[in-house]
Amino acid sequence: MKKCDAGHHSDDAALLHELLAEVVPLPAHGRVIHPRPKRKPIPEQRLRDERAALADSLSDHITWDIGTETGEELVYLRNGLSRQILRKLRRGHWVTQDELDLHGLTSVEARAQLAEFLNACIRSGARCVRIIHGKGLRSKNREPVLKTKVANWLIQRDEVLAFCQARQADGGGGAVMVLLKSGRRKA
């Protein structure tokens, strides 16, 4: 049996040699083919841990008052900053560089997404962003559940300088415009 296999193998080799006898190699193209750079590993577990820690660090309960100037309108200005900043933010002085839509999310989902969004904005250097929390028209008591929670979460973040209700064209009472610290830090 082994003898047959050996004979069969040599027949295959001879047949292959015969078939490839007239094959001509391609001319050298003269190009150097560089190996692809290896990607750095993504520290998935560390990223998950950081997201969880950030989400946990944003509490739903805040002890200080959010500045409200016109009834239901949410307004916040970090201590020590000029009220002129708030006026400029209200008037659309800064270009909206990114936005996050929290419609249809639970409080837990919204808090996690907001934390991730703010971190991404800081990394990318975005200064003015819009966060759409909705007007609560589809919620239980037709009240904006996320509106106050978003404001509480924003106040707890050091990178948030100010926020106010968006202009009507930008979402009105269903959104807030947020001014962030500059992400450019000197080493």
Please state, in angstroms and rounded to a whole number, the distance separating the CA atoms of residues 3 and 35. Answer: 44
Q: How many residues does the chain have?
A: 187
Model confidence at 147: pLDDT above 80: yes
Model confidence at 1: pLDDT above 50: no
Q: Looking at residue 54, what is its pLDDT? A: 65
* Nearest alpha-carbon partner for 166 in 144, 182, 141: 144
Q: Looking at residue 138, what is its pLDDT? A: 62
Give per-residue pLDDT as tens, 77-114. 999 999 999 999 999 999 999 999 998 888 899 999 99
Model confidence at 159: pLDDT above 50: yes
Q: Which CATH class is domain 67-180?
A: alpha beta
Angle (CA) 44 46 50, round 5°: 115
- pTM of the predicted model over 0.85: no
